[in-house]
Amino acid sequence: MKKGSSEVFSFKSRRQQRLDDGGQINRLEPINFTFDGKKFTGFEGDTLASALLANGVRLVGRSFKYHRPRGIYSAGIEEPNALVALRSGDRHEPNTRATAVELFPGLEAKSQNRWPNLLLDYLQINNLLSPFLSAGFYYKTFMGLPGWHFYEYFIRKAAGMGDGTKFKDPDKYDKKHMHCDILIVGGGPTGIAAAVTAGRAGARVILLDNHPTLGGQLNGELFFLDEKPAHYWIEKCVEELDDMEHVTIATRTSAFGYYDSDVVNAIESVSDHLPEPPDYQCRQRLWQIRAKRVILATGATERPLVFSNNDRPGVMLASAARRYVNQYAVRPGNKAVIFTNNDDGYKTAFDLARVGIEVVAVVDSRKKIPEHFEKELNEKEIEVIPRSVVVDTHGYFGLNSVEIGTLSQDGKTIESNPFIVSADLLAVSGGWSPNVHLYCHSGGKPVYNDAVEAFVPGALSQNGHSAGAAKGSFSLNDCLHEGHDIASTLVKALNFESAKQIIPETNEKNIVPIEALWRVPGKGKKFVDLQDDVTESDITLAHREGYVSVEHLKRYTTLGMGTDQGKTSNLNGQAIMAQEKAEPIEKIGTTTFRPPYTPITMGTLAGRDIGLSYKHTRRSAMHNWHKQNGAIFVEAGQWLRPQYYLDELEQPSKENMDTAINREVQTVRTSVGLVDVSTLGKIDIQGKDSAEFLNRVYTNGWTKLPIGKARYGIMLREDGLVFDDGTTSRLDECHYFMTTTTSNAAAVLSHMEYYLQVQWPDLDVKVTSVTEQWAAMALAGPKSREVLSKLLPTRNVDNESFPFMGVREFDIEGVPARIFRISFSGELSYEINVPADFGEFIWQRVLEVGRTYNIRPYGTEAMGIMRIEKGHVAGPELDGRMTAADLGLQKLLSTKKDFIGSKMMDREGLKDKNRPRLVGLIPVDKTSRVKSGAILVKDPTLAPPVPKLGHVSSSAYLSPTLGHPISLGFVSGDIIETSKKVWAVSPLHNESHELEITDPIFYDQKSERLHD
Amino acid sequence: MAKYSIFNIIRNAFNGDKSWARVWRDPEPKKSYDVIIIGAGGHGLASAFYLAKNHGIKNIAVLEKGYLGGGNTGRNTTIVRSNYMLDENAHFYEKSLQLWEQLSSELNYNVMFSQRGVLNLAHNDSQIDAITRRGNTMRLNGIDAELLDAKQIRKLMPYLDFSDDVRFPIKGGLLQRRGGTARHDAVAWGLARAADSLGVDIIQNCEVIGFEESGNKITTVKTSRGNFNCGKVGFAVAGNTGHLASLINLKLPIESHVLQAFVSEPLKPMIDHVVTFGAGHFYISQSDKGGLVFGGDIDMYNSYAQKGNLPLIEEVVTAGLAMIPSLSRLRITRHWGGVMDMSMDGSPIIGKSPIDNLYLNCGWCYGGFKATPGSGWVFAHTIANDEPHNLNKGLNLERFKKGRMVDERGAGPFPNRH
Amino acid sequence: MLIINCPLCGPRDHAEFTYIGDATKNRPKSDDISNDDAWYDYVYLRDNPKGLHEELWQHSFGCRCFVKVVRNTVTHQIIATGMPKEDLILDEKGFERSV
Amino acid sequence: MTEGNTNKNFLRRQSALAHVINYGQFGNVSLNGPGLFICERHPLTILQLETAKSKNPQTLAEISNLLNVEFPQTNNTCHGDDERRSLWLGPNRWLIVEPERDCLQTLIKTKFSSSDVFLTDLSHGRSTVRLKGREAREVLMKGSGVDWHLNSFGTDHCVHTKLFDLAATVDCRDIDVFDIYIARGFAEDFWDILLDSAEEFGYQVD
Ligand SMILES: Cc1cc2nc3c(=O)[nH]c(=O)nc-3n(C[C@H](O)[C@H](O)[C@H](O)COP(=O)(O)OP(=O)(O)OC[C@H]3O[C@@H](n4cnc5c(N)ncnc54)[C@H](O)[C@@H]3O)c2cc1C
Ligand SMILES: NC(=O)c1ccc[n+]([C@@H]2O[C@H](COP(=O)([O-])OP(=O)(O)OC[C@H]3O[C@@H](n4cnc5c(N)ncnc54)[C@H](O)[C@@H]3O)[C@@H](O)[C@H]2O)c1
Ligand SMILES: Cc1cc2nc3c(=O)[nH]c(=O)nc-3n(C[C@H](O)[C@H](O)[C@H](O)COP(=O)(O)O)c2cc1C
Ligand SMILES: [Zn+2]
């Protein structure tokens, strides 16, 4: 045998393989495209695969592990071999199945997994090394030094298929939610028949198919329906369905998963068949379909046969060969051998012969040739060799001959010396496997059916009914009837008047049963899984080593783990294992079918939520003002808040940030500032039991709070730890207004609703979030009262009329305002709440009025420093692990009542007096910047493991007020009692600083500034 | 048992791999065992292995309802790290990491422990503070940790989103270089082979369906393959803990939840580390085969189904694209689910139970794979000595009653928030 | 997707709801003299059944009501929904599949 | 679109969308004209009304009389017109919406004791967008899993749902007219995503 010497240059000796007529391509629309940089032409209606074959290109890729030359194996989404890199630049799509790509003008494709090029792939060496690379070889070596990570570097480089990209995707993705009575997945004869019946009955129907046109398997066949070519029937049905308003036909739409509650998800390829999405159009759209009933008419997939060197370019599924001839008018080869164990091969033989392809022989492993084929075989002078098999193949870059031998009676050996025939196409059929994937996703368990030698759907799961080839019914007649029957049953169940449909007569032949042939005896590599290069010997090795469960088999050999998920290979592999174990296939079972049915792009799942739209952004009513006035924003939950404000000429920089923050703090401490606090959660509480409710929710007492007063409170979780804090004000007899921390706003509302609805439904209390209703700003600083009185020229806001913790409703220039005299900064301060649409107006008015006092807006940084100066706890302290006592708030725990958390807060671990407690911390040198997140230790020189005494929770690098850095932190109770100093260490920064432990309130400990 | 080595591989290459032996036996179960471990996941197998190896107990069975390694061990995103903040977790997981570092040679089975580094991203100042605290604590505990700024991260991982139109810009990250991934199946197989060679009976397709008790002791374990007498019993059934406990009327602070995981089509090396997002729940690494393996949050509702639903998938992938925009045109090949034993404080429970001869190993939440060798080590110790090891003392069941929760996230007694 | 039939709003995606958990937990009454075990049980212990589970969800994007749902934790099939205090009648037919 | 302007504060009420709305036609406008017409309704009075558990059954009827609008007792339905509309929000909870006029809250409050009815003013807390046109349902289908089919969601129906990941109330004013209420803070984001979703149909902002 001459090993493919001339084929090496197959590109040059390419031969046009397009038939002169026939097929469903549009010869008036030629389309130019490139493969590996070379220019080719195909036609509208081609797939990339059919166009390549038409141009005589057979070698399209290299295999995963051994880098063997590979060609086009199928004509559909099950393709294991022909994976190409489609498009280029920022639209590059690795691992794209050439058989599922519709040809479009300018299409660019490249082969993958080869270097430097397809013909000269250096990693072909792996093919020679293959004896060392059997399944799981890496588990047995590379254990010693320098460690796996070293070897892994090389292994990873060799593995993988296509390349990822570094670019952002220029295309858009969309989502759509749908509802229907009956969803039909699969637009073959079964699905079409079902759709017509259901549609006529008036049900809301969605019919999906992943192809550009309906018809399914029929498009690749030459069947007649009612004595006319089948497409007449298809067109008639489509026309009728198109006219029904309640029926949606979705082509190029692939259902990828059947999830709970009969929700089926699909991806519509809106623009994949075009060079680029048109303006305003997306590339793909995710469909979420909620169906009352589902018909799974997903068809079946043909299986390969397992024999030596069954992977060469030129070996192809029999139905695919037929489809290339019939649908695409392409000669997939010029001299064909058919190898089959079922009737399917004969159909291929006839269809190939019809267009003048020389069919050398039909090699049928069955003992008997189906009689009804004899006439046509004779007419077309096709030789059939019964009880025989293809033993081996030859040709390096493409098939050039096959060896045929006779099978012994027991099927375990080859009886005679095989003979060689030359052929460039070997069409194989090992039987058909129903596409039970979606059925299995829905929770169904497939069962083995000996008659068709495949797994078929078992008991019904959810409301997904399989029909046609998907159910193991392979005759066209059965498919049409099943489609109709299941649809009429389902419409009746949904109370529609079931409609009649006359099923067309078919011209198909009876089917003679398949005789399983799971593998052909012989040496050489017999590929079971073409994509992952899993061979028969890998499976026998797995068996020998005890990886005998199908799941172990899969994971040890990687059988079925490629992008095709073993659509063509799984059953063959499992059957070989069954033979090795001498157990029936149904006993060893099948691996789990998982979504997606075919690989799905991640962009579609993200839809529009990308880039800046990843998570919604929440803006306060004053946002626009902040933006125009130098605010640098910071994230707080979803909110954007001003962190600090740069003055007009300042550029963002670290120094300017420090300057700005300092300036803001000083302004508030010495004069007056204004901060946007709209993000605080605000909850309106009404009802006669409101006080009682607050009493149960907060740890302190609420029954005596007078109208017009606010009070600070903390809430615990049921486990006794602090949940949230805030102030609540009494607006009226039975009307309260609660504020929560920004981050807990939603959680607190839910928490309260839970108790009101589920635990204490007897309480008459209504809670409503009014966070968005009110724009809120805190006017803080010694001059704040003066500003306020200017704003309210007719009102008295002196200390008596409007005392600390007072709440008043005023009218500011016609705008109704609720003003709370509460303070986070530690200064005299008023929180002004106005209906949000007035927020910006009032904000500006306050700043105008305050101009004489040099008022400034301030941001979260300044606010943070001031609250540290005051020892107020915030997010870093309220970390969900603290007790009230840890935070120094034990005085807020009422002993006179039960409240949420009161029963669990006294558990021994929570009362432990050595628990870290809130303290103030000042660097001994009064200058060192201590990082939040530094750990407190006794001695910074100790070697690990070092006992930890606590940590720094919040730090102000400079308290402008005190003139030195300050921090809040937690220190173990026993240390607080015994020592005055600790070290803060930050090994991450290589820093350590000695700190003095102080009271957490650094500034105005008696709170005099608040009170008058 | 044939030793695994490059020499043996070469030898076998010339005889068609004919002399490789079975990795583990398929023994007929005995009537009685000194220790019965339920669950042949990584934890059950490691426990049996260390019981035999460290404590000289030989009459051990590991009962598995399906195929060994088919639980969460066989379906997790394989991240191994010890970057914990609270002492109870930190020391335990660090021990585990140290065991990982020698596991392949200890088992004579390459578990492909790949110390490629685990990076947690931070996107704002408070997250920086939080990882600073965690990293510092790690360092003081003798565990490696580095704080990286955005520039350093960009150099290591240029594929992350450093552009202007990013919702949550990267501000920094905490890197544990000794962290990484391991080949999950190999871990189960290697442990099974090693335990088997020490005489441990691994009995597959053997579901525990009940118990017989006498006094405060389990006397018999009832299974789908018959009843076995037992000296001591250890639960190592992860997500099935709640169900198994209900068979002896034991209520536990555990809820079972489904966690999904995903793998993309195989790609040439693209992501060289393990990276986790800070502004959404998402973590990713690339398997040696080339698939991007990633995951996110649990589906949030109780489940024993090993499968999840699309809303969570959309959320996970959306977070993924927010972190790595160039994932957009890549495709997912498969996604699956595992049933997780979510505890009430997010930390494991490993120790004694209210029943005298029953020991619990559960509550692993999102992170029990990395615990595998450590869990086996301390669980074996606990069973052999009827007393916890120093490293699992704090991870006991009583901690909830006593108010000594080990709550890394501070989320409180809500299992699905940890 | 789980489609949960909110007794007030009708069938909605579970993404509109917030999962709360075990609906069989009864908060110990305040006047039970503090029984530590009862509280421990209430706050920490879960039945966690493999099979039918009574659970609470809040329809947080809808009517904000808490809804009781009986769901099979193995198949995710929802058998019944109602208000938190409602005694749900588990129609055996809920298990059967009508065609 | 501005509605009712008798209130003296009218000029100062600033919608959350004031800075972002661009009027005109955008996207893939076909020969049949834009598939959608989108506008903001502002300023509106939006009042939540709840009745106490212990309420006098007469109360609601009396308020209904006073305001001349019925309070729908059927879940997910609405009553009234653009001048005054009431929406079912939940058990014993309704939303009253009207173009801003005199203070509706005061009107009710003066007549009814605050222990029977609870009013919460949400006028400023919601942004309201009106979506109109032959493709309006198509756009809603992109954002929420509710069945938007005419047969299940017709005129005078409303839903509270998750629309483009935001809590939203959608009121079907007419076969192809929908009022969408969302939290004010998210208005800008909502506006963007709505327009983005409408691009393929072509839309006009009024
Ligand atoms: C999707 C996903 C991602 C994860 N990612 C990570 C990660 O990145 N890093 C990490 O550290 N952890 C991760 N985890 C968690 C981790 O996988 C688990 O915590 C860990 O594998 C648990 O190991 P195990 O041996 O305890 O349990 P499993 O491996 O689940 O083993 C328990 C075994 O018990 C068997 N069993 C159950 N009931 C019975 C019975 N009645 N009788 C007999 N046998 C029974 C089961 O079949 C199973 O084989 C992840 C988990 C999931 C699901
Ligand atoms: N032995 C044989 O000769 C043999 C075997 C099997 C089938 N067949 C023939 O094939 C035909 C079967 O008819 P049928 O209608 O049952 O199947 P079909 O294969 O004709 O149609 C199924 C259609 O569904 C599509 N599909 C599958 N999964 C999908 C998904 N998840 N999302 C979207 N689309 C999906 C397929 O691409 C296909 O177009 C009959 O003509 C039958 O005779 C013959
Ligand atoms: C780290 C990791 C990598 C995986 N890689 C692949 C893969 O490349 N291809 C594949 O089909 N499945 C892959 N899987 C998923 C498995 O096929 C399988 O889904 C998973 O182990 C759960 O088992 P089950 O689906 O049988 O329930 C991977 C799983 C893990 C945990
Ligand atoms: Zn509802």
Find out if CATH 3.50.50.60 is the number for domain B29-109+183-254+345-417: yes
Residue B144 above 90 pLDDT? yes
CB-ligand 3 contact for B404 (6 Å cutoff): no
Of A388-397, B9-18, C25-34, minimum mean pLDDT range = C25-34
Residues A356 and A415 in one domain: yes
Residue A2's pLDDT is what?
39
* Nearest alpha carbon, ligand 2 atom 12: A469
CATH number at residue A690: 3.30.70.1400
Overall average pLDDT of the A395-409 stretch? 95
CA-nearest residue for atom 35, ligand 1, is: B39
B49, B72, B285, B316: residue to mutate for ligand 1 pocket, most atoms within 8 A of CB: B72
Which two structure tokens, joined as six digits, stand for A583?
């157990």
Token pair 């009431």: residue: D86
pLDDT at D104: 85
Tell me how long chain A is.
Answer: 1012
Chain A residues in contact with C60 (beta carbon < 8 A): 750
Residue C86 lies in a domain: yes
Q: Is there a cis peptide before residue A30, judged by omega within 30 degrees of 0? A: no
Taking residues A430-448, what's their average pLDDT? 98
Q: Are D90 and D71 in contact (CB under 8 A)?
A: no
* Residues D89 and D158 occupy one common structural domain: no
pLDDT for D3 equals: 53
Of D162, D166, D180, D182, which to mutate for an interface test with C (greatest number of C Cβ within 10 Å)?
D162
Cβ atoms < 10 Å from Cβ of D28: 16
Which pLDDT belongs to residue A783?
A: 98
Domain containing D185 — which CATH number?
3.30.1360.120
Mean pLDDT of A256-275: 98
- Give the CATH number, domain containing residue A364: 3.50.50.60
Q: Are B98 and B107 in contact (CB under 8 A)?
A: no
Residue B16's pLDDT is what?
86
Task: Quote the pLDDT of residue D112.
Answer: 81
Mean per-residue pLDDT, B58-62: 97
**Chain D nearest CA to A820, separation (Å):** 19
Whether residues A290 and A252 share a domain: the answer is yes
Find out whether the beta carbon of B238 lies less than 6 Å from any atom of ligand 1. Answer: yes
Structural domain ending residue among the three candidates D76, D95, D123: D123
pLDDT at D7 over 60: no
Residue A788 and residue A666 share a domain: yes
Instruction: Over range D154-182, report the average pLDDT.
Output: 98
- In which element (H, E) is residue A213 found? none
The pLDDT value given to residue A511: 78
Conformational region of residue B160, where left means phi above 0, alpha means psi within -120 to 50, and beta covers everything else: beta
- Please check whether residue A331 is in contact with residue A304, taking contact to mean a CB–CB distance below 8 angstroms: no
Mean pLDDT over each residue of chain A, to the nearest integer: 95
Q: Is residue C19 within 8 Å of B301, Cβ to Cβ?
A: yes
Listed residues A127, A155, A186: the one ending a domain: A127
> Are residues A752 and A800 both part of a single domain?
no
Query: How many angstroms separate the CA of residue A588 from the nearest CA in chain B?
Result: 12
Q: What's the pLDDT tens digit per position in A347-390?
A: 999 999 999 999 999 999 998 888 889 999 999 999 999 999 99
In a domain, A92, yes or no: yes
pLDDT digits (tens, 9 = 90+) for D74-86: 999 999 999 999 9
Query: H-helix or E-strand containing A927?
Result: none
Chain-centre distance for alpha carbon A882: 36
So what's the pLDDT on residue C32?
62
The answer, yes or no, to whether residue B75 has pLDDT greater than 50, is yes
Backbone conformation region of residue A795, classed left if phi is above 0, alpha if psi is from -120 to 50, else beta? beta
Rounded Cα distance, A192 and A245, in Å: 16
Which of D121, D152, D199 faces A280 most closely, judged by CB atoms? D199
| C-alpha closest to that of D27 among D194, D203, D206 | D203
pLDDT of residue A787: 98
CA of D165 relative to ligand 1 center, distance in Å: 33
pLDDT tens, position by position, A793-809: 999 999 999 999 999 99
Contacts of A366-370 with C-beta under 8 Å, sequence gap 24+, read: A366/A341, A366/A342, A366/A512, A366/A515, A367/A515, A368/A512, A370/A343, A370/A346, A370/A509, A370/A512
Chain Cα centroid distance, residue C86? 11
Helix axes D104-111, D57-67, angle to 10 degrees: 140
Rounded Cα distance between A327 and B370, Å, is 53
Q: Which domain holds residue A971?
A: 908-1011
Q: Which pLDDT score is estimated for A1?
A: 37
Q: How far apart (Å, rounded) are the C-alpha atoms in residues A333 and A318? A: 12
Helix (H, G, I), strand (E, B) or coil at B168: coil
Is D78 domain-assigned?
A: yes
Do A622 and A763 fall within a single domain?
no
- Percentage of chain A with pLDDT > 90? 91
* Residues 25-44 of chain D whose Cβ lies under 8 A from any Cβ of chain C: none
Vertex A794: Cα angle to A790 and A795 (nearest 5): 85
| pLDDT band at residue C30 under the 50/70/90 scheme | low
Q: In a 3-state reduction of DSSP, which class is residue A255?
A: strand
Q: Is the CB of B180 under 6 A from ligand 1?
A: no
Share above pLDDT 70 across residues of chain D, in percent, rounded to a whole number:
93
Q: Please tell me whether residues D130 and D151 are part of one structural domain.
A: yes
Per the prediction, chain B carries an average pLDDT of: 97
Of A412, A430, A448, the residue that ends a domain is A430
Determine the residue among D7, D12, D17 to mutate to test chain A binding: the one whose Cβ has the most chain A Cβ atoms within 10 Å: D12
CB atoms within 5 A of ion ligand 4 belong to: C 6, 8-9, 59, 62-63
DSSP A45-109: T-BHHHHHHHTT----EE-TTT--EE----SSTT-SS-EEEES-GGG-EEEEEGGGPBP-TTEEE
Structure confidence at residue A4 (pLDDT): 40
Q: Answer whether residue A31 is part of any domain.
A: yes
Backbone φ and ψ of A353, nearest 5°: -60, -35
Q: How far apart are CA A315 and CA A63, in angstroms?
A: 14
Domain-ending residue, one of A726, A745, A769: A769
Chain D positions touching C64 (Cβ under 8 A) are 90
**pLDDT at residue A421 tops 50:** yes
Give the separation between CA B389 and CA A750, rounded to whole angstroms.
41
- Which residues constitute the domain of residue C73? 1-25+49-90
Residue D203 clears pLDDT 70, i.e. is over it: yes
Same domain, A692 and A662: no
Task: Classify residue C79: in a domain, yes or no.
Answer: yes
Report the domain count for chain D.
Answer: 2
- Burial per residue of A30-43, b for 16 or more beta-carbon CB atoms within 10 angstroms, e otherwise: ebebebbeeebebb
Q: How far apart are CA A699 and CA A616, in angstroms?
A: 34
Phi and psi torsions of B198, nearest 5°: -90, 10
B49 CA from centroid of ligand 1 (Å): 17
Average pLDDT over residues A824-836: 97
Question: Which of D99, D123, D147 finishes a domain?
Answer: D123
Q: What is the pLDDT of residues B146-192, one digit of tens each?
A: 999 999 999 999 999 999 999 999 999 999 999 999 999 999 999 99
Query: What is the tens place of the pLDDT at every residue in B29-50?
Result: 999 999 999 999 999 999 999 9
Supply the CATH number for residue D79's domain: 3.30.70.1520
What span, in angstroms and rounded, lies between the C-alpha atoms of B397 and B408?
Answer: 17
Nearest Cα of chain C lies from the Cα of D162 at a distance, in angstroms, of 6
Domain spans in chain B, listed from the N-terminal domain onward = 29-109+183-254+345-417
Give the CATH number of the domain where residue C63 resides.
3.30.2270.10
pLDDT digits (tens, 9 = 90+) for A633-646: 998 989 999 999 99
- How many angstroms separate the CA atoms of A567 and D78, rounded? 52
Q: Which residue from B325, B363, B67 is spatially nearest to B192, judged by alpha carbons?
A: B67
The pTM of this model reads 0.97
The tally of domains found in chain C comes to 1
The amino acid at residue A129 is L
Both tokens of C98, joined, read: 């009508």
Question: Average pLDDT for residues D154-167, to the nearest whole number?
Answer: 98
Joined together, the tokens standing for residue C37 give 């075990």
Q: Tokens in use for A684?
A: 């309106």
Q: Are residues A67 and A108 in the same domain?
A: yes
* Gap from CA of A340 to ligand 2 centroid (Å): 20
Give the Cα separation of A731 and A250 in Å (integer).
58
The whole-angstrom separation of Cα B115 and Cα B181 is 7
pLDDT at D8 over 60: no
3-state SS class at D140: helix
Residues A641 and A858 sit within 8 Å (Cβ to Cβ): no
Domain of D187 in residue numbering reads as: 24-43+125-205
Tell me if C53 is assigned to some domain. yes
B262 CA from centroid of ligand 3 (Å): 8
- Residue D141 belongs to some domain of the structure: yes
Does D18 fall in a domain?
A: no
Contact D162 C61 (CB under 8 A): yes
- C-alpha A816/C-alpha A808 separation (Å) is 11
pLDDT tens column, A948-999: 999 999 999 999 999 999 999 999 999 999 999 999 999 999 999 999 999 9
Q: Per-residue confidence at A14, pLDDT binned at 50, 70, 90? A: low
The Cα–Cα gap between C35 and A986 comes to: 44
Q: CA nearest A101: which of A116, A86, A119?
A: A86
pLDDT in tens, A132-168: 888 989 999 988 778 888 899 999 988 899 999 899 9
Query: What H or E segment, with its residue span, contains residue A630?
Result: none
Number of domains in chain A: 6
Tell me, what's the pLDDT at D113?
74
Nearest to B413 by CA among C15, A851, C20, C53: C20
Q: How much of chain B exceeds pLDDT 70, in percent?
A: 100
pLDDT at A7 over 60: no
Q: Residue C47 belongs to what H/E stretch?
A: none
- Environment class of A23 (CB within 10 Å of its CB; exposed 0-12, middle 13-18, buried 19+): buried
Contact between B253 and C46 (Cβ < 8 Å)? yes
pLDDT at A12 over 60: no
A148 or B395: which carries more pLDDT confidence?
B395
Nearest alpha-carbon partner for A841 in D104, B103, B17, D9: D9
Return the residue of C nearest to B341 by Cα. C48
Residue A228, H or E segment: strand A228-229
Would A39 be classed as within a structural domain?
yes
Between the CA of D91 and the centroid of ligand 4 the distance, in Å, is 10
